[in-house]
């Protein structure tokens, strides 16, 4: 507890107790350390409803245990099978998700800063093998952390399962046996009951300790590389929004291959979810190749364009918003806002009314009806400032080399008749401020 600073004085710790050996030992140990560590305990038990009356008896067992210890207790019941049916997870994975959600909810209800689970060194070894067999990089092979998200703590992670059992025998404590731990339909049970015994008997009698050590080293290695990745991302991100991250491509390509791979995984993870091996490699090839665009399974599109490597989640949602002549509106879809004002034309030079990427000027009296701002639509046209004919907005974007995956987020400002500003690109020739202009409309685009 102390070495990993698992709990601070005065904190409340929620103890997840299934009724099995590990969690009963955990509860007993924590209840004995309660005063010394100045922590308060609360017990949570989830009935997954997977084993009928057995599950119910587990719940009653834990309740009785808490009542003996005078420990506050919250029981819950979830229909894991229904959840799994709906979400398409495996029963193992589904039970895990439901359990952690329950624990977080109870922790919030009772005001617990930490959630303690009874995972042991044997669980750790099983986790490492589980992830190796499923195909995992450094992160996965590091196994479980003694402390995760500062909240989940695993005080028994360095303790062997036989030590837990010895402890329970010594303390004459009863516990429940979960018969689903023997069901070979669960990968973890096959690892525990078939693989680990083979490894121990035929290869390495200390296999659990060996795997736990390897995991500890790999966790440190992963942490180091992740810190370097975070620093690199801060250095080379030109834009970092909720649905869009843009990297400086030459800087990206200067990083080591391993860090590039981690950058890709981290960026996709920030936008939606980290890609698997094949998808990461595809993005790696795109970045170091000749350009182009690809769609990842998570809905992220990646494009290499000029000096930029763009990651964008989904299409920009459609929007169409009325814009007041004086005031401001938010464009949450673009993480931007528009600010408008009208004022008399001063005697300044015509050139001072020149629009740029974030600011445009119009002759107020050339505008027809109310203003709206909306996404670009197919067929949009404009007569750009300084030109004679009309031009398709699409062609305008291509001329300006706007990357394909960003084109759907270019907004246009319209009056009742026409597009007056392809924002950031071009204003309409007919609305320009001239020597005859009396009132000027100024529109500013700012980040939200």
> What's the gap between Cα 293 and its chain centre?
23
- Contact between 269 and a copy of itself by CB under 8 A: the answer reads no
CB of 143 to a copy of itself, least distance (A): 13
The only residue of 63, 69, 110, 136 in contact with a copy of itself, by rule CB under 8 A: 136
Report the C-alpha gap between 324 and 75 in whole angstroms: 55
Q: Report the residue number, 162 or 277, with the smaller CB distance to a copy of itself.
A: 277
- Contact between 220 and a copy of itself by CB under 8 A: the answer reads yes
Angle between helices 207-236 and 121-134 (to 10 degrees): 60
What is the per-residue binding string for a copy of itself in 319-348, x denoting contact by CB under 8 A? Answer: ------------------------------
Triad 437, 442, 447: Cα angle to 5°: 165
Q: Which of 168, 125, 136 is nearest to 23 (CA)?
A: 168
CB of 297 to a copy of itself, least distance (A): 18
CB of 287 to a copy of itself, least distance (A): 15
H and E: helices and strands count for the chain: 14, 22
CB of 265 to a copy of itself, least distance (A): 11
Chain residues 277-306 in contact with a copy of itself, contact rule CB under 8 A: 277
DSSP 372: E
CB of 133 to a copy of itself, least distance (A): 5
Q: Which stretch binds a copy of itself (CB under 8 A): 17-25, 58-66, 145-153, 218-226?
A: 218-226
The only residue of 174, 258, 318, 342 in contact with a copy of itself, by rule CB under 8 A: 258
- Contact between 308 and a copy of itself by CB under 8 A: the answer reads no
> What's the gap between Cα 215 and its chain centre?
24
Chain residues 167-196 in contact with a copy of itself, contact rule CB under 8 A: 187, 190-191, 194-195
Q: Which stretch binds a copy of itself (CB under 8 A): 174-182, 217-225, 321-329, 332-340?
A: 217-225
**What are the distances in angstroms from CA 25 to CA 34, 99, 161, 163?**
14, 19, 10, 10
- Contact between 224 and a copy of itself by CB under 8 A: the answer reads yes
CB 355 within 8 A of CB 427: yes
DSSP 192: I
Report the C-alpha gap between 76 and 193 in whole angstroms: 29
Q: Which stretch binds a copy of itself (CB under 8 A): 49-57, 167-175, 211-219, 348-356?
A: 211-219
Q: Which of 37, 4, 24 is nearest to 13 (CA)?
A: 37
Sequence-ordered alpha helix ranges (H) in 309-421: 393-399
Do β-strands 73-77 and 40-47 pair in parallel, antiparallel, or remain unpaired? parallel
Q: Which two tokens stand for residue 24?
A: 């009963």
CB of 229 to a copy of itself, least distance (A): 10
The only residue of 172, 179, 202, 401 in contact with a copy of itself, by rule CB under 8 A: 202
CB of 342 to a copy of itself, least distance (A): 57
CB of 213 to a copy of itself, least distance (A): 6
Angle between helices 207-236 and 257-271 (to 10 degrees): 80
Report the C-alpha gap between 180 and 145 in whole angstroms: 25
The only residue of 87, 109, 204, 434 in contact with a copy of itself, by rule CB under 8 A: 204
What is the per-residue binding string for a copy of itself in 77-116, x denoting contact by CB under 8 A? Answer: ----------------------------------------
- Contact between 259 and a copy of itself by CB under 8 A: the answer reads yes
Report the C-alpha gap between 380 and 374 in whole angstroms: 11
The only residue of 92, 165, 228, 408 in contact with a copy of itself, by rule CB under 8 A: 228
The only residue of 227, 235, 295, 392 in contact with a copy of itself, by rule CB under 8 A: 227
- Contact between 3 and a copy of itself by CB under 8 A: the answer reads no
Q: Report the residue number, 194 or 377, with the smaller CB distance to a copy of itself.
A: 194
| Exposure string over 368-382, b if 16+ CB within 10 A, otherwise e | eeebbbebbeeebbb
Report the C-alpha gap between 32 and 43 in whole angstroms: 14
Q: Which stretch binds a copy of itself (CB under 8 A): 59-67, 103-111, 147-155, 258-266?
A: 258-266
The only residue of 95, 141, 245, 405 in contact with a copy of itself, by rule CB under 8 A: 141
Q: Which of 289, 335, 345 is nearest to 312 (CA)?
A: 335
Q: Which of 448, 199, 214 is nearest to 339 (CA)?
A: 448
Question: Is 37 strand, coil or helix?
Answer: helix
Residues that bind a copy of itself (CB under 8 A): 132-138, 141, 187, 190-191, 194-195, 198-199, 202-204, 207, 210-211, 213-214, 217-218, 220-221, 223-225, 227-228, 256-259, 261, 277
């Amino acid at each position: 507890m102390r070495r990993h600073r698992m709990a601070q004085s005065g904190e409340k710790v929620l103890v997840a107790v299934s009724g099995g050996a590990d969690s009963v030992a955990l509860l007993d140990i924590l209840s004995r350390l309660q005063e010394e560590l100045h922590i308060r305990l609360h017990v949570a038990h989830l009935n997954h409803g997977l084993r009928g009356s057995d599950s119910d008896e587990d719940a009653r067992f834990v309740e009785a245990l808490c009542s003996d210890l005078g420990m506050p207790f919250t029981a819950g019941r979830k229909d894991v099978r229904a959840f799994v049916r709906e979400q398409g997870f495996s029963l193992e994975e589904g039970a895990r998700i439901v359990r952690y959600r329950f624990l977080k909810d109870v922790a919030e209800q009772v005001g617990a800063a930490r959630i303690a689970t009874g995972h042991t060194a044997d669980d750790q070894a099983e986790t490492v093998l589980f992830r190796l067999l499923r195909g995992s990089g450094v992160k996965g092979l590091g196994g479980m952390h003694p402390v995760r998200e500062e909240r989940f703590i695993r005080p028994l992670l360095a303790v062997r399962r036989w030590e837990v059992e010895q402890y329970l025998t010594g303390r004459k404590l009863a516990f429940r046996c979960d018969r689903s731990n023997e069901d070979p339909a669960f990968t973890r049970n096959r690892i525990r009951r078939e693989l680990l015994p083979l490894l121990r008997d035929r290869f390495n009698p200390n296999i659990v300790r060996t795997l736990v050590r390897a995991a500890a080293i790999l966790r440190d290695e992963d942490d180091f590389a992740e810190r370097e990745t975070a620093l690199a991302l801060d250095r080379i991100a030109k834009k970092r929004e909720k649905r869009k991250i843009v990297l400086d491509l030459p800087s990206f390509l200067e990083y080591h291959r391993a860090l590039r791979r981690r950058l890709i995984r981290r960026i996709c993870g920030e936008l939606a979810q980290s890609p698997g091996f094949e998808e990461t490699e595809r993005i790696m090839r795109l970045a170091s190749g000749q350009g182009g665009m690809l769609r990842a399974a998570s809905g992220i599109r990646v494009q290499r364009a000029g000096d930029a490597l763009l990651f964008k989640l989904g299409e920009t949602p459609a929007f169409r918003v009325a814009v007041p002549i004086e005031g401001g509106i938010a464009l949450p879809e673009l993480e931007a806002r528009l600010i408008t004002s009208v004022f008399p034309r001063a005697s300044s030079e015509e050139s001072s009314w020149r629009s740029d990427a974030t600011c445009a000027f119009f002759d107020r009296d050339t505008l027809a009806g109310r203003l709206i701002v909306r996404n670009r639509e197919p067929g949009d046209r404009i007569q750009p400032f300084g030109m004679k004919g009309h031009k398709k907005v699409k062609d305008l974007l291509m001329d300006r080399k706007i990357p394909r995956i960003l084109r759907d987020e270019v907004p246009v400002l319209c009056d009742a008749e026409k597009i007056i500003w392809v924002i950031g690109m071009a204003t309409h020739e007919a609305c320009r401020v001239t020597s005859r202009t009396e009132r000027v409309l100024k529109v500013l685009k700012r980040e939200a």
